[in-house]
Amino acid sequence: MILVNGESKAHIEISDRGFQYGDGLFETIEVRDGQAVFLERHLERLNSGCRRLQIPFPDAKLLSFEAKELCRQHRRAVLKIIVTRGSGGRGYRQPDRIQPTRVLSLHPYPDYPETYREQGVVVRFCATRLGLNPALAGIKHLNRLEQVMARSEWNDPAIQEGLMLDVNGHVIEGTMTNLFYIKNNRLYTAELVQSGVAGIMRGIIMILSADHGFPVIEHMFTKDELLSADEVFICNSIIGVWPVTQIEQKHFTVGPITKNIQIRLGRYAGDDCTEAG
Amino acid sequence: MILVNGESKAHIEISDRGFQYGDGLFETIEVRDGQAVFLERHLERLNSGCRRLQIPFPDAKLLSFEAKELCRQHRRAVLKIIVTRGSGGRGYRQPDRIQPTRVLSLHPYPDYPETYREQGVVVRFCATRLGLNPALAGIKHLNRLEQVMARSEWNDPAIQEGLMLDVNGHVIEGTMTNLFYIKNNRLYTAELVQSGVAGIMRGIIMILSADHGFPVIEHMFTKDELLSADEVFICNSIIGVWPVTQIEQKHFTVGPITKNIQIRLGRYAGDDCTEAG
């Protein structure tokens, strides 16, 4: 099921700048019991990304209405929202009057084993690096070749995620997740000022941890620092939190702080679903 | 007129990875007297870009046939060829069997005044920087948000192009052109190992200059070095060569080496059209 500017269709104009230049943004949202989880947060991030790219944000009420309509009958799925700058302009130059395109599509929820959440996952380091660009850092835009290239590096089904470094050798995130680590009872994640996507789940974990008197420290760190951590986990809006039990040859246990975050996150997401009702 | 995998249509599947992730490449080709100029070179570059991104190259003879058919009746136009990784895969992961999408479209030739070629153009420096990524440097991929953002910085019709620096402060290229400068009778252009697009016209100028005993020096240079040049020009497959007569407050004359390159390029392009017949 796909809605393009409110109409049910499966295609987009060739002239759409999303296709021509990756000139747009997207959100990937968990659908549970007929509801898009953390929908308002996703729409806020989309709005903020549109401001960064100077794309007029489509009507928030309309987006929210369409999203809810699409998800209503689905017990478990993934909702993807794409907003592009629409068609027009000459070359890279934007049209004088931008009419954004909005695409909402539903996808099957991935069949990840429940063991990933409980017993953790194995990850690797990717050779493909993230470029640096403060103008695009943090936002979830449609220029995703770096992630595609990184994800193409391995086929081993025993490895669930690849970690990406930036061109300066700082560990930033996974191809589809954000990364946290715990060392001496402090919680760290990458500072996303030059590259990376500031995930919704990452933001929620930062809020929950601060509320719990345990503020997350955003900074730049190397492979070595990560490998010396006590606990490591990855997160996104679809998987929630997966403990990392192995990074290449180095093993980690599923630690108490990671488990505690999973528990509080479960409660918080439950609240969101109730409120969204 | 648009051909998608050989069929006349104006739209593409939403699921196409070109739309979802900018997972593809493109070429912009001058059409003159019914012929796509330097078509074989463009198809070679497309092939090389496909190898870099691990996209199977569509049949070269078929692409060439479709391009020629599309251009046959057109005295002057622009042919754009897009090749994407097609649909499929889960998230960033590529499908096991890639079926690339090819899109050929014809566009009106831009109505640039002839004076630009003879009397030169005014350019500016953009604030938007080019990120660094050796994995993507040089190829003409569909992740073009940096160029879109840079081109959105000015509306003054007296300024014809914006020059982009990389995040380290090296001058790399224009938003839609490559950049050359001449100093003490030597010809320089940016080394495109970390960012930038290695344009077809740039490549031809390098070959012609080397043949003329005047090899182009590829290196990294700053704004100050560029501003101390004797001559400056920009180029691409559509505009050919435009002398630069002003970069912000600094003025340049249309110099003899730039003029000489324009003349030899005119002959060379003429030969290509004859051969292509």
Across chain B, mean pLDDT equals: 95
For the residues of B163-230, what is the DSSP string, one character each?
A: EEEBTTS-EEEESSSEEEEEETTEEEEE--SSS-B--HHHHHHHHHHHHTT-PPEEE---HHHHHT-S
Neighbours of B119 (CB within 10 A): 12
pLDDT at B277: 36
Using the predicted structure, report yes or no on whether residue B268 has a pLDDT greater than 90. Answer: no
Between these two residues, A89 and A275, which has the higher pLDDT value?
Answer: A89
pLDDT at B274: 47
Catalytic residue among A68, A140, A223, A250: A140
> Alpha-carbon distance A257 to A244, whole Å?
13
pLDDT at A152: 96
What CATH topology corresponds to B115-276?
Answer: D-amino Acid Aminotransferase; Chain A, domain 2 (3.20.10)
Do the Cβ atoms of A145 and B21 come within 8 Å? yes
Catalytic residue among B30, B84, B140, B258: B140
Using the predicted structure, report yes or no on whether residue B211 has a pLDDT greater than 80. Answer: yes
Q: pLDDT category, B1, cuts 50, 70, 90?
A: confident
Q: In terms of Cα–Cα distance, which of A168, A230, A234 is closest to A201?
A: A234
Q: What mean pLDDT comes out for the span A68-97?
A: 95
Task: Please give the DSSP secondary-structure letter assigned to residue A37.
Answer: T
ipTM for the assembly: 0.95
pLDDT at A275: 43
Do the Cβ atoms of B10 and A14 come within 8 Å? yes
> Alpha-carbon distance A46 to A30, whole Å?
15
Q: Could you tell me if B143 lies within 8 Å of chain A, comparing CB atoms?
A: yes
> Alpha-carbon distance B217 to B195, whole Å?
17
A220 near A173, Cβ under 8 Å?
Answer: no
pLDDT, tens only, A13-67 = 999 999 999 999 999 999 999 999 999 999 999 999 999 999 999 999 999 999 9
pTM attached to this predicted model: 0.95
Helix, strand, coil % over all residues of chain A, rounded to 5: 30, 30, 40
Least confident of B168-172, B216-220, B257-261, B272-276: B272-276
Q: What mean pLDDT comes out for the span B245-253?
A: 97
Q: What's the token pair of residue B59?
A: 């049949």
Q: pLDDT category, B209, cuts 50, 70, 90?
A: very high
A273 near A29, Cβ under 8 Å?
Answer: no
Q: Please tell me which residue of chain B has the smallest CA distance to A145.
A: B23
- Residue A143 CB-density burial (10 A; 0-12 exposed, 13-18 middle, 19+ buried): buried
B28 is catalytic: yes
Using the predicted structure, report yes or no on whether residue A276 has a pLDDT greater than 60. Answer: no
All residues of chain B having their beta carbon less than 8 Å from the beta carbon of residue A11 are 11-14
Q: pLDDT category, A277, cuts 50, 70, 90?
A: very low
B173 is catalytic: yes
> Alpha-carbon distance A107 to B244, whole Å?
51
What does CATH list as the number for A2-108?
A: 3.30.470.10
The domain limits of chain A are: 2-108, 115-276
Q: CB neighbours of A56 closer than 8 A, spacing ≥ 6?
A: A50, A98, A100
Q: Please tell me which residue of chain A has the smallest CA distance to B92.
A: A148
pLDDT, tens only, A170-191 = 999 999 999 999 999 999 999 9
Using the predicted structure, report yes or no on whether residue B214 has a pLDDT greater than 70. Answer: yes
Q: What mean pLDDT comes out for the span B33-55?
A: 97
Buried b (16+ CB within 10 A) or exposed e, B60-76: eeebbebbeebbeebee
> Alpha-carbon distance A71 to A79, whole Å?
8
Residue A4, Ramachandran bin (φ over 0: left; ψ between -120 and 50: alpha; else beta): beta
> Alpha-carbon distance A44 to A197, whole Å?
15
Helix or strand (DSSP H, E) at B231: strand B231-236
Candidate from A12, A128, A175 with C-beta closest to B11: A12
> Alpha-carbon distance A183 to A231, whole Å?
7
B140 is catalytic: yes
Q: pLDDT category, B112, cuts 50, 70, 90?
A: very high
Q: CB neighbours of B183 closer than 8 A, spacing ≥ 6?
A: B225, B228, B229, B230
Q: What mean pLDDT comes out for the span B71-84?
A: 97
Q: What's the token pair of residue A75?
A: 């017990």
Using the predicted structure, report yes or no on whether residue B276 has a pLDDT greater than 80. Answer: no
pLDDT at A65: 97
Portion of chain A with pLDDT greater than 70, in percent: 97
Q: Please tell me which residue of chain A has the smallest CA distance to B154.
A: A93
Secondary structure class of A30 (helix, strand, coil): strand
Question: Which residue has tokens 């831009």?
Answer: B110
pLDDT at A102: 98
- Residue A176 CB-density burial (10 A; 0-12 exposed, 13-18 middle, 19+ buried): buried
Q: What mean pLDDT comes out for the span A102-126?
A: 97
